[in-house]
Chains A and B, each alone.
Chain A
Amino acid sequence: MRLPSWLSQHLAALRALLVLTVLLGLAYPLAFVALGRLPGLSGKADGSLVANGSTLIGQAFTDADGNPVTRYFQSRPSAAGDGYDPTSTSASNLGPNSVVDTADSPSLLTQVCARSLAVGKLEGVDGRRPFCTTDGVGAVLAVFHRDGFTGPVTRVVSVNQTGTPFIATYDGVTVGPARNGEDYQALGGVITPVRGDAPVDPVVPADAVTASASGLDPDISPAYAALQVPRIARERGLSEDAVRALVKENTDDRALGFLGEPGVNVLTLNIALDRQK
């Protein structure tokens, strides 16, 4: 008996799929799983594990309350779960103009400002940044004009502050504090970030105030490591030069001199510090 051609075609398709599944979906990956058992490869195939984690996966060096443990170098901010959770990897996905806090979540700008202030305080340096208030939120105004987008300014609100606004007046109008839950953009206010007088090159490096792509970034920039060296030296009673030498040992330079960026592996660095007695 001859099958109708549409049916035989689908049967051929099914057979092809099954054959290729056995080859590409089982034989190929499982052969490499087996290969990964070989000495020399198995450490990497299993995730580069060491006693206290994986050298490829970043971790938080904070106490149970989320405060930095000061004798350790600190990692970058992380958006993976509650921070550095490999079962819930994520970036923040907040956009470049996420500047207005909502009741549920702070804007990306406010997060950056708060982190910068906190890092500045921890390291004893200036934590100010452009577009940030001195109390560590986004310096953003909602400016109301008489005719919508034009005409004289009638009212100004500092949208991320419920207390005293970061500037007293804007265009001659007294700046008022925000009330919780009010959406000033919907009311017609023009969202206006204010740069302020913070230095162009902030002391706290960029990677210290931004969440990574994976939420598991094992590295910090050499600049952020250098910023933390005095604190680590103080906390551990080591010379700054000794700490700097360890930072250098745990820095991965650009491969071939031009691929990627140099990064300091925070976990291996902290492990090396713990070994110093």
Chain B
Amino acid sequence: MAGWLFVISLVVALVAAYRPFGDYLYRAITSTRNLRGEKLIYRLVGVDANAEQTWGVYARSVLAFSAVSILFLYLFLRVQNKLWLALGVPQMNTHVSWNTAVSFVTNTNWQAYAGESALGHLVQMAGLAVQNFVSAGVGIAVAVAFIRGFASKGLGNFWVDLTRITLRVLLPICVVATLVFMVAGAVQNLSGGTDVTTLTGATQHITGGPVASQEAIKELGTNGGGFYNVNSAHPFENPTTWTNWLQIFLILLIPFSLPRVFGRMVGQNRQGYAIVAVMAVLAIASVALTIGFELHGGGTVPQAVGSAMEGKEVRFGIPDSATFAAATTLTSTGAVNSFHDSYTPFGGMMPIVNMMLGEVAPGGVGSGLYGLLILATITVFVAGLMVGRTPEYLGKKIGAREMKLASLYFLVTPALVLIGAAAAFATGNNSTALNTGPHGLSEVLYAFTSAANNNGSAFGGITVNTPWWDTALGLAMLLGRFLPLVLVLALAGSLARQKPNPESEGTLPTHQPLFVGMVVGVTVVLVALTFLPALALGPIAEGLS
């Protein structure tokens, strides 16, 4: 009962935030005034804040910024052991550094290392956490540019979008959230740790670190990279029952509010309501299923134990842990407060399915909205074919070029997931899985699904810090982020070039329940057709055995 109240209270809070916070986001993004601090940044960076960019220039700016970020972070990780606050950690090797640099720049935050033993405080603060902010900024910026493709002639300016989202949205919320986490007990210091003598006379090393400040952006930016190995299960990251609620709220806040920005920018709030309705239907169904499977799911060990408490914390319990698991995989977060590998067979399938949905319900910050708008575009096209009219979305024709871009967008991640998982088995690299049988297959499938969808959570039993895994998952993350992103911007450019067509009798209304139902249907059918065979070999085989 308490578990359901937990979910309902989250829904109520998100509904209450939708309009005011969405409007705030809209004003921050579309305002014509530059703040003094922003002007200073534009001057330091050397960009003209008033210059409109074509889709090509916008895309090249994103790619240049991300390429520089990967290189910078890679070098930072390689030399971190020689820097201030290194705390005696060893040098990070080439393949883990590559994997980690790509992971944080792509908003994945897949972690092939254990934070408490592999990283000094400086690289966590000034390397990883910076990418937590800016990779979130990049995602939102691209979503905004895509909306401008529907709403106006220009796509805006990447540097302005990135700066504003960071300074006006992400940083202020993080300042408040950091303070709240600190009051709850999350640590925030530069200490290398303290040795204490336990009650029974043993020695325990209590770790330190600037954790609270990193925790805030980790959730708000749907990043998910934990300061410590066990992420949000660690009492220093997520100390109380109510910080757990707050973390889930922060994860979902921006992705669920961005449809409001979409509605405002295209001048029809009801279009935003339709998109957020699709997200909400899928998300609520997923959360309910995950909780249900965890409470009543099978598996020999949960039956022997009497409940699925393996890999869960007492203070969170089962329903709240399952809610976190659903929220983190419905978005591109990948933070965990419980370990999915030990979930019941079907309970553990839900995070995989959530990611396979393409993380659109509500998805990562920005990436969720553009992912869902692509699916809406595909739906408009499918519906147009059924009634024999030229498909239009918000007055823009969905023609051959648009459909090619949208279809390619959809195909990228499934291709990466299925080819990657197949390659792991073909090369014998699946042998690093901890568990055997169908569950071992699930571990491999989960790894590639998580990387290609830029999630970052894992069935943690698998060992992935080998050269093959680091390289392969690094590539999956890189291609899974930037190919779709370029395709989205190309589609935006193509839409922006079109003159809007006035609505006519034959136009499919894209704000009504019928359309919402169709988008939900298209999403579920596309995902089921793509992934059912792989799921049948892994979690479904395990759950039915």
Contact = CB atoms under 8 A, between A and B. Distances in A.
A87 B184 CA distance: 22
A24 B1 CA distance: 41
A63 to B, nearest CB: 6
A166 B435 CA distance: 25
Given A32-B210, A72-B199, A12 B304 contact: no
Contact of A213 (B159, B190, B311): B311
A81 B241 CA distance: 25
B206 interface: yes
B171 A24 contact: yes
Contacts of A129: 304-306
A57 B342 contact: no
Contacts of B434: 93-94
Contacts of A205: 306
B234 interface: yes
B210 A108 contact: no
A97 B345 contact: yes
A61 B198 CA distance: 8
A259 B133 contact: no
Interface string A253-277: 0111111110100010011001000
A267 B206 CA distance: 14
A206 B309 contact: yes
Contact of A52 (B134, B199, B301): B199
B343 to A, nearest CB: 7
B311 A93 contact: yes
Contacts, number: 380
Chain A interface size, as a band, is 35 or more
Interface string A160-203: 00000000000000000000000001000000010100000110
Contact of A109 (B300, B315, B321): B300
A212 B230 CA distance: 10
Interface stretch (B26-34, B58-66, B385-393): B58-66
A203 B68 CA distance: 58
Contacts of B126: 21, 25-26
A202 B306 contact: yes
A267 B163 CA distance: 46
B134 A29 contact: no
A33 interface: yes
A202 B233 CA distance: 27
Contact of A20 (B127, B166, B308, B342): B166
Interface in B1-22: 1-2, 5-6, 9
B199 A212 contact: no
Contacts of A44: 182-187
Which of B189, B200, B345 is the most central at the interface, judged by chain A CB atoms within 10 Å of its CB?
Answer: B200
B110 interface: no
B196 interface: yes
A241 interface: no
Nearest to A201: B306
Contact of A214 (B65, B171, B233, B437): B233
B185 A56 contact: yes
Interface stretch (B41-49, B90-98, B407-415, B498-506): B41-49
Given A47-B187, A252-B241, A270-B199, A263 B182 contact: no
Contact of A260 (B65, B171, B241): B241
Given A44-B184, A57-B236, A206-B306, 18 more contacts: A11-B46, A20-B166, A29-B210, A56-B235, A59-B198, A59-B199, A59-B200, A61-B199, A76-B314, A86-B206, A87-B117, A94-B342, A95-B342, A96-B297, A108-B342, A130-B303, A210-B311, A213-B233
Interface of A: 6, 8-17, 19-21, 23-26, 28-30, 32-33, 35-36, 41, 44-49, 52-54, 56-64, 69, 72, 76, 80, 84-100, 108-109, 112-113, 129-132, 138, 185, 193, 195, 201-202, 205-207, 209-221, 252, 254-261, 263, 267, 270-271, 274
29 contacts: A9-B61, A12-B45, A14-B72, A17-B65, A29-B188, A30-B125, A32-B179, A32-B210, A45-B212, A47-B187, A53-B198, A59-B198, A85-B205, A86-B116, A88-B117, A89-B228, A95-B342, A98-B435, A108-B301, A109-B300, A112-B305, A213-B230, A213-B337, A215-B230, A252-B240, A256-B242, A259-B2, A260-B242, A261-B315
Query: What are the 5 closest A-B residue pairs judged by CB atoms, nearest first?
Result: A260-B241, A96-B299, A25-B126, A261-B317, A213-B233
